[in-house]
Amino acid sequence: MELIIALIIGVLTTSGVFLTLRGHTFPVVLGLTLLAYAVNVFLFAMGRLTIGLPAVIDPTQAEYADPLPQALVLTAIVIAFGMTAFLIVLALKSRSELGNDHVDGQSCPEGEIPVETDVQKQIQRNEQL
């Protein structure tokens, strides 16, 4: 089980980092979400992996799982959820204000707000072909 959890955290983090380094806002949002998943699983595993144990002390059971990481994860999930929602709205706002969805507002000359029309895009695409 340890190996599977470790692999899951590793894969999630790798994909998250890869996506976060992309230039467009949408992959970045996805990457941050994956990173948040990875850290949630990681926090959870930090209370040690146990199976079938109660989180709250049960007199019939000899041991119990560490409840604190579960509380932490819950907080972290809520915060990550809110932040992601905010980021998506902000990404949409920047798409409409900057005219493109690059994280650094690429191809936007200073003081100008380019508005790419569909026609221009079509022309560009034709030229590239």
Partner 1 sequence: MMSLTFLPVLAPLLAGIIILLARLGGLNLQRLLSMLSVLLLTFISLELMQQAVQGQTQVYTLGNWVAPFGIVLVLDQLSALMVLITSILALGALWYAVTSKIDAKGSHFHVLFQIQLFGLNGAFMTGDVFNLFVFFEVLLLASYGLLLHGGGAARTKGGLQYVVINLIGSTLFLFAVGTLYGILGTLNIADMAVKVSQAQPEDLGVIAAAGLLLLVVFGLKAAMFPLYLWLPQAYANTSAPVAALFAIMTKVGLYAIIRVHGTVFGDSAGELAHYYAPWVLGLGLITLLLAALGVMAARGLREQVTYLVLASVATLLIGLGLNSAEALAASLYYLIHSTLIAGGFFLLADIIARGRDQIGDRFISANAMPQAVLIGGTFIFGAIAMSGMPPLSGFFGKVLILSSALDHEWFMTILGIVLVSGLLMIVAVARSGSLMFYHTQPDAPQGESLNSLAYGAVVMLFATGIILVIFAHSITLLTESTAQQLWQSSDYIQAVLNTRAVGGN
Residues near partner 1 (CB under 8 A): 20, 25, 28, 32, 35-36, 38-39, 42-43, 45-48, 68-69, 72, 75-76, 79-80, 82-83, 86-87, 90-91, 93-94, 97-98, 103-105, 108, 113
| Minimum CB distance to partner 1, residue 97 (Å) | 5
Specify the residue, 61 or 76, whose C-beta has the smaller distance to partner 1.
76
| Minimum CB distance to partner 1, residue 75 (Å) | 6
| Minimum CB distance to partner 1, residue 36 (Å) | 6
Q: Running DSSP on this structure, what letter comes out for residue 103?
A: T
DSSP for 15-74? HHHHHHTSSBHHHHHHHHHHHHHHHHHHHHHTT---SS--SS--TT-S----HHHHHHHH
Specify the residue, 34 or 118, whose C-beta has the smaller distance to partner 1.
34
Specify the residue, 106 or 120, whose C-beta has the smaller distance to partner 1.
106
Specify the residue, 7 or 113, whose C-beta has the smaller distance to partner 1.
113
Q: What is the dihedral of CA 4, 5, 9, 15, to 10 degrees?
A: 30
| Minimum CB distance to partner 1, residue 61 (Å) | 20
Instruction: Answer yes or no: are the C-beta atoms of 41 and 8 closer than 8 Å.
Output: yes
Q: Quote the CA–CA distance of 38 and 14 in Å, as a whole number.
A: 9
